[in-house]
Chain A
């Protein structure tokens, strides 16, 4: 007879070691994105199609700039968490760790590049 409860035996055996937290993160960003995605689609849609000057003027306004920055951050982090889960599920060992680090760096770089562009246009 083993003196461990079923829960104790199962704890820490998941691929990432933090599945509950990941699940909650995805719930939060998913719900937040339900109003944010339509805002992003229509904001970007209205921005696309103008001349260079019109585009600069459009994203210089507070509301479009804010929607773009907000959706860039939340969408990219949401994608990063999902990509991490996929890597944790299918890759292991050193290769898995290096891929995780590379993916994290890639998504943060994407956010930084986008924010830089929005800041430069808006300010």
Chain B
């Protein structure tokens, strides 16, 4: 799941760079990608990408904690995995509310 969300983040990176390039180029090309990202479909994609990015960040953090030798017990790791799901969802809701 951490790997899948990592690959999904590449899609987000491409969209963001496209959006920035279009903004730097002309009003016309900006309108195309900006309209795409702000449509209901684009919002759905961005919401999913936001969740993926939060989830991947928490998942990577878990790997870093493991690499330092802490919390490697299966039981604790499973709890952290559940925490990643809940944490990513909570952070996505916060993001959606704030932004």
Residues of A within 8 A of B (CB): 23, 27, 30-31, 33-34, 37-38, 41-42, 44-46, 48-49, 52, 55-56, 59, 68, 72, 75-76, 79, 82, 110, 113-114, 116-118, 120-121
CB distance from B62 to the nearest CB of A (A): 10
Residues of B within 8 A of A (CB): 6, 9-10, 13-14, 16-17, 19-21, 23-24, 27, 30-31, 34, 37-38, 46, 50, 53-54, 57, 60-61, 63-64, 67, 95, 98-99
- The answer on a CB contact under 8 Å between B67 and A114 is no
- The answer on a CB contact under 8 Å between A72 and B17 is yes
**Partner among A52, A56, A79 whose Cβ is within 8 Å of the Cβ of B10:** A79
- The answer on a CB contact under 8 Å between B95 and A42 is yes
Q: List 7 A-B contacts (CB under 8 A).
A: A33-B57, A45-B95, A48-B34, A52-B23, A75-B9, A79-B13, A113-B17
**Partner among A38, A52, A59, A76 whose Cβ is within 8 Å of the Cβ of B20:** A59
Main secondary structure of the interface of B (DSSP, over half): helix
- Quick one: closest A residue to B16, CB to CB? A44
